[in-house]
Structure 1
Amino acid sequence: MCGIAGVWSPRNHHADTDAIVKAMADKMYHRGPDGWGSHVDPANGLAMVHTRLSIIGLNAGDQPIFGREDDATDGFVMTVNGEFYGYKQLRGILRTDGYQFNTKSDSEIALKLFHKHGFDFMEHLRGEFAFAIFDEKRQRMILVRDRFGIRPLFYHVSDKGFFWGSEMKAMLAHPDVPREVCPKAQLHQMMQVMVPGMTLFEGIHALKPGHMLVVQKTDDGFDVEEKRYWDAEFPLDGEHDDLPDEEHIENVRQALVESVALRLEADVPVACYLSGGIDSCSIIGMAAAIQQSPVKAFTISFDDDRYDEAHIATEMAEKAGADQDILKLKAVDLYGKNFEDAVFYSERTFYNTLGVAKMLMSRHVRDVGYKVVITGEGSDELFGGYAQFKADYFLHDPAYAETSAGADMKERNKIFAGSVLAEQQISHPAFEEVMGFTPSWIQPWMLVLERVKPLLSDEFKAKLGDYDPIAAIAYSLDRSMLDGRHVLDKVQYSWIKTMLEGQILNWGGDRVDMANSLESRPAFLDHHVAELAMRIPPHVRIRDGIEKWVVREAMKHVLPEVLYKREKFAFMAPPAHTDEAKTVEINKLIDKWLSSEEIAEHGIFDEAKLRQSIEDYRKSDDHAQNTRKDIILNHAIALHAIDELIGA
């Protein structure tokens, strides 16, 4: 795991590029504290920088990586952030083809594979990664991001050059990268859901998951082409794999065991995150069976029994013989400077302080001496685990249309009303057009948006004009991946393209783990597992109202009975309004970042309306409405803080 950044500016090369590159590297020190390297080439106007977290090839993995004249990769330069699994076998194959290697790390295979296969090389790469390859002879740059967006990668192109980085703060260390905040992006962050590729800053884009960017030098600048090399493609309704249940179960079991085994490979010890969900518990069970020594398991415990799953995680740890380490978090831990730090590292706002909790956990894991953890993200996305997915399945699938399954499920999950579940059914014409219905997962955020709109200043609304963020999200989805699909596949696809990358893998994943130089490896998001999962019929993913049924059956013998039978429980931190200590802490942030001076400086909110909303929130005892206002306050605080925190 590492950080990468760079600039290609053939016509505008700075005399002080060495100092600029060092500043860019310094902004990513947390991503690679074990060393850094750079390549500055004034003749081509090129500078590439890499900060290293040594996981594989501890003493022989320095970057950038250069091609070799004796295997025809001369003139290639590459920097990589991430891991490639199965690299030893690929190295062996490439050697028989005549390719020679400069390092013993996994990263170098990408350079050789690109030379050998051209743009078809991605089908040979398996893992979590983001990387850049410069081809001097053809005068082109290739940026690549993994299939789900597990690793971040951003870029900006202008007449001053082409810029890229694992984090925007590294790019912003270059004087030619713009710092203007985008009002549309601010609105999206206030309602939680971003348009794929959008960032907080005008002109800075996130490379989309499953895409590569080909930047070709021309006579007057650059020609930039975005290529999609992979997508979460579900089969047409009725064309899923028609197999006996036992075969689906065994296929899932084998795929997951292989994925976990690959992610246990490292030249440093590997631990696991362990919550009370079947995903991380399954990983612990598989890891314990694969490796000889006890698995190290790290668990977060909250000071609110309604949200705390540590007791279930402990039962799993005992069953697997794992060495469990529980980090107990209190209200004061989730706010103040820790809240601000999570904003700094995430480079976006968040609706719940779970991201703060995960950042504190990653700090604890590093303090104990681990650099790598296997995590459970992706299981819900691929196997139909979220309550929002079941809500649509129950509502739109004929098998459930006449039952009370949906209402019963919402009653059991009413603690999450106002956040992940809407209290009422609402719709939007753009989603009705694109998907045939408005998915349940976006409805709570539509309600947040309705609460946000009256709080906005006239000046900010003028900047937005008639912009419709819900329509922008809906129309960003590829209709060809939705048309003719089952309702469950539609909602899973729409979530994968938006919330998985923008939320789960951002402030719930890489950004808060790498804040403390910790590499997280989500085993369920192995693309071999994903391609298998997407071909499993919906009624095997969700069976008789039981989410992730096929995963439960595949892992039945490693899970405690209580967990095997337990309904999915959303993993989130207790909202601020749930006890007085948290209210005290968020009030301190309100006083600091929502002061009259801050409101006037940023111009987003109408101060009188925002103050009244906060006052109403403090007097209310409506859980759903207060949860929604917690969300708005978290976003508002972060929006005011973020540009100052990241130095924009």
Structure 2
Amino acid sequence: MCGIAGLWSPKGYTDQTPKLAEGMADTLYHRGPDGRGFHFDPDHGLAMIHTRLSIIGLNAGDQPIFGREDDGTGSLVGTINGEFYDYKRLRGLLRTDGFRFNTKSDSEIALKLYRKHGLDFVEHLRGEFAFAIFDKEKEQLILVRDRFGIRPLFWHNGPGGFFWGSEMKAMLAHPGVPREVDPRAQLHQMMQVMVPGMTLYKGIHALKPGHMLIVSKKGDGFEVEEKRYWDAEFPLDGEHDVATDDEFIERVRAALVESITFRLEADVPVACYLSGGIDSCSIIGMAAAIQQSPVKAFTISFDDDRYDEAHIATEMAEMAGADQDILKLKAEDLYGKNFEDAVHYSERTFYNTLGVAKMLMSKHVRDVGYKVVITGEGSDELFGGYAQFKADLFLHDPEYAATPAAQEMRERNKIFSGSVLAETAISHPAFEEVMGFTPNWIQPWMLTLERVKPLLSDAFKAKLGDYDPIAAIAYSLDKSMLDGRHVLDKVQYSWIKTMLEGQILNWGGDRVDMANSLESRPAFLDHHVAELAMRIPPHVRVRDGIEKWVVREAMKHVLPEVLYKREKFAFMAPPAHTDAAKTAEIDKLIAKWLSPEKIAETGIFDEAKLAASIEEYRKSDDHAANTRKDIILNHAIALHAMEELL
């Protein structure tokens, strides 16, 4: 795992470029503390930057990676962030084709596959990655991001040249990249959901998951082509795979065993994250069986029993014989400088301090000597695990519509009303047009937006004009991937394209893990597992109201009974209003970042209206309303701190 960055600027390349590249690399030290490398090509105006976290090929994996003249790759140079699984088999196949290797690193296969297959080479890559390859012969730069966006990658094309980086801060360290905030993006961050590809800054784009960017020199500038090479394609309704329950269960089990086996491979010890959900517990159980030795398991414990899952995780750890390490977090841990650091590394706002908790966990994991963890992200997205997904299934699928399960689910999940579950139903015509209904997962954030709008300043509203963020999100979805699909497939697809990359894998994943140089490997997001999951019929993914039914059955032999029978429970940190200590901590951040002077300087809010809203929040005892206000405050604090923290 690593950090990459670079610039291509024939007209802007000067004798200061190497020094500026050093400054860009400095911002990515946390992504690669084990070494750094540069490729400077003044003739082409190119600088490529790599900071290394050594996981595979510890003594022979330095980058940039250069091709060889004797196998036809001499014109290629690459900087690779990520892991390519099954690389040993691919290296063997490439050798038979006459390709030769300089290192034992998995990264080197990218150059060879590109030379052999052209742009179709990405179809042969399996893993989590974001990388750049420069082809001097074609004068072409190729940027690639993995299928789900597990690893980040950003780019900017402007008068100063073409720039890219694992994090925006690397690009912003160069004077050729403008730092102009986009008010539309600020609004999206206030309501949590971003449009795919959008960032906080105008002109800086996130390369979308499953996409590549082909950059070619054109006169004094660059031509940029964005190409989708993979998508989460669900079958048309009624065209899912046909098999017995036992066959589906065995397919899922076999796919997960293979995925976890690949992710256990490293030249350093590999640990696992362990919460109280069946996803991480399944990984712990399978990892222990695969390596036939105890697994190191790391668990977060919160100081509020309603949100804490550590006791269930402990039962799983005992069953698997895992060596469990529990990090106990208190109110003061989740706010103050830790909150600010999480904003710095995430480069976006977050609705809940779970991201802060995960950042503290990644630090703890590194402090005790681990560089790699396997995680459970992606299971809910692929196998129908979220309560919001079931709510739509209960509403729109005739097979479930008449059951009392929806109301029962809401009763059991009442604590999440105002956050991941909407307290009242709301719809939008753009989603009705694109999907045929407004999915439950977007409704809480639409309600957040409704509460934010009255607080905005007149000047900020004038900048937005008639911009509709909900319509922008809806119309960003590819309707051809939704038409004719089952309701469960529709909601899973729409979530995967938005919240998975923008939330789960951002401030819930790579960005807070790599803040402390920790590589996380989400086994469920292996694309072989994903493509299998998408072909499984909806009633096998969710059976009789039981989410992730096929996963439960596939992992039944490694799960304790209490977990096998347990309904999905959203993993989040206790909101600020839930006890006095947390309220006191968020009040300190409010005083620092939401002062009248800071509000006036940033210009998003009407100071009097925001102050009145905060005062109302402090006096209220309505849990759902206060949870919504907690969300707004978390976003507002982060937005006002962002410019200073990046």
Residue of structure 1 equivalent to 2:638: 638
Residue of structure 1 equivalent to 2:149: 149
Residue of structure 1 equivalent to 2:26: 26
- 2:192 and 2:425 map into 1 onto residues whose CA distance is 19
2:434 equivalent to 1:429: no
Q: What per-residue deviation string (whole Å, max 9, x for no partner) do you get for residues 543-579 of structure 1?
A: 0000000000000010000000000000000000000
Residue of structure 1 equivalent to 2:109: 109
Residue of structure 1 equivalent to 2:456: 456
- 1:632 and 1:421 map into 2 onto residues whose CA distance is 15
Residue of structure 2 equivalent to 1:569: 569
The alignment partner of 2:5 has SS state of strand
- 1:317 and 1:405 map into 2 onto residues whose CA distance is 31
Give the share of equivalent positions with the same residue, in percent: 84
Residue of structure 1 equivalent to 2:604: 604
Residue of structure 1 equivalent to 2:255: 255
Residue of structure 1 equivalent to 2:613: 613
**Residue 59 of structure 1, CA deviation:** 0.3
Which range moves more in the overlay, 117-126 or 347-356?
117-126
The alignment partner of 1:452 has SS state of helix
Residue of structure 1 equivalent to 2:417: 417
Q: What per-residue deviation string (whole Å, max 9, x for no partner) do you get for residues 577-636 of structure 1?
A: 000000000000000000011001100000000000000000000000000000000000
Residue of structure 1 equivalent to 2:57: 57
Write the letter of the residue equivalent to 1:18: P
**Residue 44 of structure 1, CA deviation:** 0.4
The alignment partner of 1:117 has SS state of helix
Kept in 1: contact 2:307–2:573 (CA 8 A) = yes
The alignment partner of 1:149 has SS state of coil
Residue of structure 2 equivalent to 1:282: 282
Residue of structure 1 equivalent to 2:85: 85
- 2:105 and 2:642 map into 1 onto residues whose CA distance is 36
Residue of structure 1 equivalent to 2:242: 242
Residue of structure 2 equivalent to 1:271: 271
| 5+ long unaligned stretches in structure 1 | none
The alignment partner of 2:398 has SS state of coil
TM-score normalised according to structure 2 size: 1.00
2:489 equivalent to 1:479: no
Which range moves more in the overlay, 557-566 or 395-404?
395-404
Moved over 6 A (4+): none
- 1:426 and 1:378 map into 2 onto residues whose CA distance is 27
Write the letter of the residue equivalent to 2:380: D
Residue of structure 1 equivalent to 2:206: 206
Kept in 1: contact 2:296–2:322 (CA 8 A) = yes
2:348 equivalent to 1:343: no
**Residue 423 of structure 1, CA deviation:** 1.1
Residue of structure 2 equivalent to 1:329: 329
Root-mean-square deviation (Å): 0.5
**Residue 310 of structure 1, CA deviation:** 0.1
- 1:488 and 1:416 map into 2 onto residues whose CA distance is 21
**Residue 103 of structure 1, CA deviation:** 1.3
The alignment partner of 2:401 has SS state of coil
Residue of structure 2 equivalent to 1:626: 626
**Residue 218 of structure 1, CA deviation:** 1.5
Residue of structure 2 equivalent to 1:319: 319
Residue of structure 2 equivalent to 1:547: 547
- 2:136 and 2:476 map into 1 onto residues whose CA distance is 34
**Residue 425 of structure 1, CA deviation:** 1.1
**Residue 206 of structure 1, CA deviation:** 0.1
**Residue 130 of structure 1, CA deviation:** 0.2
The alignment partner of 2:557 has SS state of coil
Residue of structure 2 equivalent to 1:170: 170
- 1:540 and 1:114 map into 2 onto residues whose CA distance is 38
- 2:411 and 2:15 map into 1 onto residues whose CA distance is 64
**Residue 407 of structure 1, CA deviation:** 1.3
**Residue 14 of structure 1, CA deviation:** 2.7
The alignment partner of 2:112 has SS state of helix
**Residue 159 of structure 1, CA deviation:** 2.4
Which range moves more in the overlay, 118-127 or 505-514?
118-127
The alignment partner of 1:466 has SS state of coil
Write the letter of the residue equivalent to 1:557: H
2:217 equivalent to 1:217: yes
The alignment partner of 1:557 has SS state of helix
Kept in 1: contact 2:11–2:220 (CA 8 A) = no
Write the letter of the residue equivalent to 2:541: R
**Residue 71 of structure 1, CA deviation:** 0.5
**Residue 259 of structure 1, CA deviation:** 0.3
Write the letter of the residue equivalent to 1:124: H
Write the letter of the residue equivalent to 1:304: D
- 1:313 and 1:105 map into 2 onto residues whose CA distance is 35
Residue of structure 2 equivalent to 1:466: 466
- 2:474 and 2:406 map into 1 onto residues whose CA distance is 24
Which range moves more in the overlay, 286-295 or 632-641?
286-295
The alignment partner of 1:351 has SS state of coil
Q: What per-residue deviation string (whole Å, max 9, x for no partner) do you get for residues 137-187 of structure 1?
A: 100100000000000000000122100000000000111001000000000
Residue of structure 2 equivalent to 1:531: 531
The alignment partner of 1:37 has SS state of strand
- 1:541 and 1:279 map into 2 onto residues whose CA distance is 14
Kept in 1: contact 2:593–2:637 (CA 8 A) = yes
TM-score normalised according to structure 1 size: 0.99
**Residue 15 of structure 1, CA deviation:** 2.1
**Residue 403 of structure 1, CA deviation:** 2.2
The alignment partner of 1:628 has SS state of helix
Q: What per-residue deviation string (whole Å, max 9, x for no partner) do you get for residues 272-323 of structure 1?
A: 0000000000000000001132100000000000000000000000000000
- 2:402 and 2:555 map into 1 onto residues whose CA distance is 31
**Residue 219 of structure 1, CA deviation:** 1.9
Write the letter of the residue equivalent to 1:193: V
Q: What per-residue deviation string (whole Å, max 9, x for no partner) do you get for residues 410-465 of structure 1?
A: 11100000000001111000000000000000000000000000000000000000
Residue of structure 2 equivalent to 1:507: 507
- 1:156 and 1:452 map into 2 onto residues whose CA distance is 30
Residue of structure 1 equivalent to 2:39: 39
- 2:159 and 2:636 map into 1 onto residues whose CA distance is 34
The alignment partner of 1:311 has SS state of helix
The alignment partner of 2:571 has SS state of coil
Q: What per-residue deviation string (whole Å, max 9, x for no partner) do you get for residues 85-136 of structure 1?
A: 0111111111111111111100000110000000111111000000000000
Residue of structure 1 equivalent to 2:306: 306
2:587 equivalent to 1:587: yes
Which range moves more in the overlay, 397-406 or 454-463?
397-406
Write the letter of the residue equivalent to 2:219: D
**Residue 392 of structure 1, CA deviation:** 0.1
Matches within 5 A, 1:482-493: 482-493=482-493
Write the letter of the residue equivalent to 1:353: T
The alignment partner of 1:4 has SS state of strand
- 1:559 and 1:400 map into 2 onto residues whose CA distance is 27
Write the letter of the residue equivalent to 1:486: H
**Residue 66 of structure 1, CA deviation:** 0.6
- 2:15 and 2:595 map into 1 onto residues whose CA distance is 42
- 1:560 and 1:492 map into 2 onto residues whose CA distance is 28
- 1:576 and 1:434 map into 2 onto residues whose CA distance is 36
- 2:64 and 2:517 map into 1 onto residues whose CA distance is 19
- 2:644 and 2:424 map into 1 onto residues whose CA distance is 38
Kept in 1: contact 2:4–2:131 (CA 8 A) = yes
- 1:334 and 1:159 map into 2 onto residues whose CA distance is 41
Write the letter of the residue equivalent to 1:585: E
2:395 equivalent to 1:395: yes
- 1:367 and 1:425 map into 2 onto residues whose CA distance is 45
2:183 equivalent to 1:179: no
**Residue 220 of structure 1, CA deviation:** 3.3
Write the letter of the residue equivalent to 2:302: F
- 1:13 and 1:416 map into 2 onto residues whose CA distance is 53
